[in-house]
A and B are shown apart, each in its own frame.
Chain A
Amino acid sequence: MSDFILRLDDVHTDIAQYRILHGVSLDVPRGGVHVLLGRNGAGKTTTLRTIMGLWRARSGAVVLGHRDISAMHTSEIARLGVAYVPENMGIFGGLTVEENLRLAAGPAGFDPGRLKRIFTLFPAMEKFRDKSAWALSGGQKQMLAISRAIIEPRQLILIDEPTKGLAPAIIRAMIDAFRDIARETTILLVEQNFLFASSLGETVAVIDDGRIVHRGVMAELAADRDLQTRLLGLSLDAHH
């Protein structure tokens, strides 16, 4: 079994006439939380969407386990056990909380054990089970989006800026939940909140202008102020 659940090899992605990813190469180890950091517009979301097949890589390879998924349809990638939680959470507001979960659970229906675990992690999901998702608060919507990602066993969960706009108390609950989820799967987390990211991440990659400019262990980056300033400062300075 490969030590890496996901490998991106020299991935270039265009959106309309613009090239967003200029040869991203990234290895995501199996298990735990791994973080992709970068400023706005650096290519974080494009990287996740390219992995998920929502935007097609112009060149390069995206390999899940030992399988090249670069040319696969999004639905096929999802069926291989990749879940995606977009920045806007992507919940279906016109559906109830339970219907959102049922859709993610697949035709076989709910696994009672997994459902119980979700209700333990996020009690609001049980409380508002029959409520329309559009009526949930921002934090609850994020909990629903995460719940949908873990209602089935997954190899890899791609999560895009889950703390955006959330209150500190909710963020603390998210940290606990992510630690629990990462015991059974791999999370690739895109984040701008460095405190949140550093409290969870085992490895980190920093992306700038569509290229990976740093790879390493999160604890080292968290302990090295100069490196943080250089990497994150470099990202900011480069665009001023």
Chain B
Amino acid sequence: MNAAGALFSRFGIAFLPAIMVVAALPLIGSFSSWATLSIAGLAMGMMIFMMASGLSLIFGLMDVLNFGHSAFVTFGAFIAASTLAALGGWVGAPSLTLNLMALGAAIGAAALFGLAAGYLFERVIVRPVYRDHLRQILITMGALIVAEQIVLAIWGGSPVAVPRPALLTGSIILGDVAIEIYRLFAFGLGLAAYVALHLMLNRTRIGLLIRAGVENREMVEALGYRVDRLFIAVFMAGSALAAVGGAMWAGYQGLISATLGGEMLVLVFIVVIIGGLGSIQGSLVGALMVGLLGNYVAFLFPKLSLASNMLLMLAILMWRPNGLLPAVKR
């Protein structure tokens, strides 16, 4: 690798989404379309990041392939939708305080569910199949199917409408560009989640343990720490993040169905793989690229939109087989 290549590998990868945004402008031509697509892509990317970051840590730390992760996305979406529906008076009120309280209650309910269900899921479903990938795939896929059936039993088979708080409806107009407020909010919340995760991983002792555990779990135990206890905390936090991501996605889509989690599963795994296992920064870069590319390709080459993320994954893995920013350097 030449010096420029090495420099890009070290520092440039974090800027790939920005490079993608700049490169899309001449292809799209219209500035307003480009800006709308870019903001939608960044907002989508941030919501996918919230869903994927927990899975990446779980995968990296305990080598667990949790296909049931997206069940938390589905439940988070439906719980947030039901909470907002139950607080209809606050949601529709022309009061910023009531709107914020309704939103906080919806996101909080989804996060609490993620924490509690994550704990049970790890104890009952995942714990018996540690170190056995085949059984992990089978049992977590089974759990995802069961979760979908539970959602169908509780919320029914018809799509459920998601009320959006008044403060998050409408757009901000800047020149020719209309920016949906909800997209800005989703981007802001995702960014806050990233900053919080980054600070936790890099400034706290538990973060130090997680980073070390992702690299070499056995050695962390040989230094006197119980990684299995650490893993429960990570699993719960990852499940809560997925549920919050699902809640945000529900508000973004407006209508949700029981298949939501299954539909997001592929995207979430693509982000984890292209970002690099166990890497929060990699998950962020991967999620933003997936979000942006999905929007640009749907506009420029609609027939390619379904394949675009697979092609992105193929290209990245050919370039960097361990993903963009893997936590473990091999």
- Footprint of B on A, CB under 8 Å? 52, 54, 73-75, 78-79, 83-84, 86, 90, 92-95, 99, 102-104, 106-107, 134, 148
Contact = CB atoms under 8 A, between A and B. Distances in A.
B224 interface: yes
B224 A92 contact: no
Contact of A104 (B211, B216, B221, B223): B223
Contacts, number: 60
14 contacts: A52-B222, A73-B221, A75-B226, A78-B221, A90-B218, A92-B211, A92-B219, A93-B328, A94-B327, A94-B329, A103-B208, A103-B209, A103-B223, A104-B223
B222 to A, nearest CB: 5
Given A75-B226, A134-B329, A90 B211 contact: no
A102 B208 contact: yes
A45 B327 CA distance: 27
The winner among B208, B216, B222, B329 for most chain A CB atoms within 10 A is B222
A83 B222 CA distance: 7
B215 interface: yes
Contacts of A73: 221, 226
B15 interface: no
B225 interface: yes
A74 B329 contact: no
B205 interface: yes
The winner among A95, A103, A106 for most chain B CB atoms within 10 A is A103
Nearest to B205: A107
Contact of B222 (A74, A95, A102, A134): A74
B212 interface: yes
A74 B208 contact: no
B52 to A, nearest CB: 19
A200 B293 CA distance: 61
Nearest to B221: A74
B211 A78 contact: no
A84 B222 contact: yes
Contacts of B329: 93-94, 134
A106 B216 CA distance: 17
Contact of B212 (A75, A79, A95, A107): A95
A86 B328 CA distance: 18
Nearest to A78: B224
A78 B329 CA distance: 26
A86 B211 CA distance: 19
Interface string B191-222: 00000000000000100110110111011111
B224 A95 contact: no
B205 to A, nearest CB: 7
B222 A90 contact: yes
Nearest to B229: A75
B324 to A, nearest CB: 15
Given A93-B329, A94-B211, A94-B329, A75 B221 contact: yes
Given A93-B329, A107-B205, A78 B222 contact: yes
A79 B328 contact: no
B226 A90 contact: no
Contacts of A92: 211-212, 215-216, 219
Contacts of A102: 208
Contact of A79 (B209, B214, B216, B224): B224
Contacts of B224: 75, 78-79, 106
B279 to A, nearest CB: 9
Interface string B219-241: 11111111100000000000000
Contact of A148 (B215, B223, B227): B223
A90 B225 contact: no
A50 to B, nearest CB: 13
Given A54-B218, A90-B216, A107-B205, A95 B211 contact: yes
Contact of B215 (A75, A83, A94): A94
B328 A94 contact: yes
Nearest to A106: B224
Contacts of A103: 208-209, 212, 220, 223
A178 to B, nearest CB: 19
Contacts of A54: 218, 221-222
Contacts of A79: 224
Given A75-B225, A103-B208, 4 more contacts: A73-B226, A90-B216, A95-B211, A148-B223
B90 to A, nearest CB: 44
Contacts of B214: 94
Contacts of B211: 92, 94-95
A104 B208 CA distance: 11
Contacts of A83: 222
A2 B215 CA distance: 38
B215 A78 contact: no
